[in-house]
């Protein structure tokens, strides 16, 4: 495994953890968890190899880390939600409690049906794919920012960029 792939996996792990369950709320702040993970990927690569990489290369690394992290977060969230430990169940319970006094029985029943429909595997998969696209975009942004911030040593030569994935 190349150093670049190791850095991408490390960044993907950071993205995945910061996008899982309750920690995923950090992504409400302009996808901060994804940007942090993408920047961690670039930081690790530039720091380990004492290199400066162009912003485009950082964007590619950030995008790859975000995709790895997005897939990891999807799997972890699926497992946690099946165990009843996901943030989704807590949010749904909070919403039902909040509107309990202001809605009649029929409206509450309809809300519960919508929550059940959104918990289906198909709905989760659709949300996961959409989330992966958004995650990839913000990962590329984070990687480009990381390449601009974490400059070490001489600039990487264009021939070194071929081992991203």
Q: What is the mean pLDDT of each run of 10 residues along the chain (165 residues)?
A: 95 94 83 95 95 95 97 90 78 80 83 79 86 95 96 67 52
Q: Which of 84, 86, 63 is nearest to 74 (CA)?
A: 86
Instruction: Give the pLDDT score at 85.
Output: 77
What's the farthest any 2 CA atoms get from each other in the chain? Answer: 67
For the whole prediction, is pTM greater than 0.85? no
Give, to the nearest 10 degrees, the angle between helix 3-18 and helix 32-49. 160
Q: How far apart are CA 161 and CA 132, in angstroms?
A: 24
Distances (CA, A) of 132 to 11, 34, 66, 113, 146: 15, 11, 8, 26, 20
Instruction: Give the pLDDT score at 77.
Output: 86
Query: Please, which residues have CB within 8 angstroms of residue 74's CB and are 6 or more apart in sequence?
Result: 128, 131, 132
Instruction: Give the pLDDT score at 117.
Output: 77
């Amino acid at each position: 495994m190349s150093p670049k792939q190791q850095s991408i996996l490390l960044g993907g792990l950071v993205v995945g953890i910061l996008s899982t369950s309750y920690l995923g709320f950090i992504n409400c702040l302009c996808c901060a968890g994804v940007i942090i993970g993408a920047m961690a990927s670039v930081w690790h690569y530039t720091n380990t190899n004492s290199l400066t990489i162009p912003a485009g290369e950082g964007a590619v690394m950030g995008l790859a880390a975000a995709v790895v992290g997005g897939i990891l977060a999807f799997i972890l969230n699926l497992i946690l939600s099946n165990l009843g430990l996901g943030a989704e169940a807590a949010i749904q319970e909070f919403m039902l409690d909040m509107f309990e006094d202001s809605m009649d029985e029929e409206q509450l029943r309809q809300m519960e049906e919508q929550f059940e429909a959104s918990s289906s595997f198909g709905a989760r998969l659709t949300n996961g794919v959409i989330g992966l696209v958004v995650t990839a975009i913000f990962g590329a942004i984070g990687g480009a920012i990381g390449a601009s911030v974490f400059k070490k040593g001489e600039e990487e030569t264009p021939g070194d960029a071929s081992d991203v994935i």
